[in-house]
């Protein structure tokens, strides 16, 4: 079939790649260059954040974990497996059972006492994929084009703007813009500010989701570290806040003291596409052709993206067979 995928962030490109593999003709429509997408700015470490429903996120996350782990083993540009430490201030007896995401990541062990910074009662150690989006997103885009996709650069304000491309089915994977395309007012921005600093030799990702001063995470990459960050629902501001930059640096240095001498490279802010629940479903009533929705991933785009794309491909197959 002829499939038009609206959106060229990681969700849209994942869908395009799987649909091409299934033998469909794919046109990817987007107005933004890769470096201006939310995906390009993402810290992009596998860890379910601000997305539901929990059972679907767990299934999508497990699928995505496996695919990204395989990509790391195959030395796909930008994809590595990263040892990770999640910190908890609560006493150990309040942390059982393990978090729901733990089932997808293989071995999870309690951190040794000497692995914990001051003030922490417990930590969990495990390994997850980390994706350096400035490398990975262009690679994924190139693979999609090399597999035969057509790219159309166009600003889309309504989903029926792409009907002139004569699709048999449309995939709505437009990220933050997806809701406006179909009058879904349950979509809201989740602002995230991060700070990029030089890497003082770190190889361990560290995070404290319940830090008293705000979420704190430190993700070492090949030549820098991503420090974060904020999770501000309803905030449309994409300008970095200097005060927040200072606060992020302070709480990240609190959990990783070696960051004290790191140099700030830049601060950036982006808008994650929030929704009460991720929408992956077939809509046969909206337009003269079927629409498959794939949006509302919150802060979990890299964590559940491949799993959602598999469901999208399955729904397109239903259209093809129906």
Answer whether residue 188 shows pLDDT above 90. Answer: yes
Specify the pLDDT at position 180: 95
Which residue segment(s) compose the domain that 32 sits in? 2-81+130-187+275-321
What is the C-alpha to C-alpha distance for residues 288 and 53, in angstroms, rounded to an integer?
29
Is 152 domain-assigned? Answer: yes
Statement: residue 102 has pLDDT above 90 = no
With cut-offs at 50, 70 and 90, classify the pLDDT of residue 23.
very high
Unique residue bearing structure tokens 């379910």: 48
The number of distinct structural domains making up the chain is 1
Q: Report the DSSP pairing between strands 25-30 and 150-153.
A: parallel
pLDDT tier at 201 (50, 70, 90 boundaries)? very high
At residue 173, does pLDDT exceed 60?
Answer: yes
pLDDT above 80: residue 6: yes
Say if residue 96's pLDDT is above 70: no
User: Given this model, what pLDDT does residue 289 score?
Assistant: 97
pLDDT value of residue 107: 93
Greater confidence, 59 or 50? 59
Mean pLDDT of 109-125: 92
Domain-embedded: residue 306 = yes
Q: What percent of the chain has pLDDT over 70?
A: 98
Average pLDDT over residues 156-168: 96
Residue 32, pLDDT > 90, answer: no
Q: Which ranges in 42-170 belong to alpha helices (H)?
A: 54-73, 133-146
Higher pLDDT, 321 or 165: 165
Asked whether residue 96 is domain-assigned, the answer is no
| 100 domain-assigned | no
Res 136: pLDDT: 95
Q: How far apart are CA 184 and CA 198, in angstroms?
A: 40
Report d(CA 174, CA 180) in Å as an integer: 9
Q: Is residue 38 part of a domain?
A: yes
DSSP string, 186-230: T-EEEEEEEEEEE-SS---EEEETT-TTS-EEEEE-SSEEEEE--
Mean predicted lDDT score pLDDT of the chain = 93
289: left (phi over 0), alpha (psi -120 to 50) or beta: beta
Tell me the pLDDT band of 119, cut-offs 50, 70 and 90: confident
Domain assignment present for 9: yes
pLDDT value at residue 92: 58
Is residue 94 predicted with pLDDT exceeding 70?
A: no
Tell me how far apart the alpha carbons of residues 282 and 280 are, in angstroms, rounded to a whole number: 7
CATH number, domain at 30?
Answer: 3.40.50.720
Would you say residue 206 has pLDDT above 60? Answer: yes
Is the per-residue pLDDT at 40 higher than 80? no
So what's the pLDDT on residue 276?
Answer: 96
Mean per-residue pLDDT, 229-243: 95
Residue 160's pLDDT is what? 94
Looking at residue 90, its pLDDT comes to: 77
Query: Does residue 264 form part of some domain?
Result: no
pLDDT, residue 137, reads: 94
Q: Is the pLDDT of residue 241 over 70?
A: yes
What's the whole-number mean pLDDT along residues 182-209?
A: 96
pLDDT at 36 over 80: no
Does residue 121 lie in a domain region? no
């Amino acid at each position: 079939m002829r499939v038009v995928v609206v959106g060229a962030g990681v969700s849209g490109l994942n869908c395009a790649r799987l649909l091409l593999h299934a033998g469909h003709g794919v046109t990817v429509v987007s107005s933004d260059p890769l470096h201006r997408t939310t995906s390009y700015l993402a810290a992009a470490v596998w860890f379910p954040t601000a997305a539901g429903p929990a059972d679907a996120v767990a299934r999508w996350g497990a699928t995505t974990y496996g695919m990204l782990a395989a990509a790391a083993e195959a030395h796909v540009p930008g994809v590595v497996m990263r040892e990770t430490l999640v910190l908890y201030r609560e006493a150990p007896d309040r942390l059982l059972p393990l978090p729901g995401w733990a089932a997808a990541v293989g071995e999870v062990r309690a951190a040794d006492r000497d692995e914990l910074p001051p003030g922490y009662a417990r930590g969990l150690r495990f390994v997850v994929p980390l994706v350096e989006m400035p490398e990975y997103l262009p690679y994924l885009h190139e693979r999609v084009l090399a597999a035969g996709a057509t790219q159309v650069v166009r600003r889309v304000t309504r989903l029926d703007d792409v009907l002139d491309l004569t699709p048999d089915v449309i995939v709505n994977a437009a990220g933050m813009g997806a809701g406006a395309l179909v009058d879904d007012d349950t979509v809201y921005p989740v602002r995230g500010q991060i700070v990029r600093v030089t890497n003082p030799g770190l190889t361990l990702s560290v995070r404290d989701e319940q830090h008293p001063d705000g979420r704190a995470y430190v993700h070492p990459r090949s030549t820098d570290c991503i420090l974060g960050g904020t999770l501000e629902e309803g905030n449309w501001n994409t300008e970095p806040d200097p005060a927040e930059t200072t606060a992020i640096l302070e709480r990240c240095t609190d959990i990783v003291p070696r960051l004290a001498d790191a140099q700030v490279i830049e601060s950036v802010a982006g808008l994650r596409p929030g929704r009460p629940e991720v929408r992956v479903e077939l809509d046969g009533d909206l337009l003269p052709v079927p629409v498959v929705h794939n949006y509302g991933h919150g802060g979990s785009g890299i964590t559940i993206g491949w799993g959602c794309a598999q469901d999208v491909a399955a729904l397109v197959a239903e259209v093809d067979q129906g």
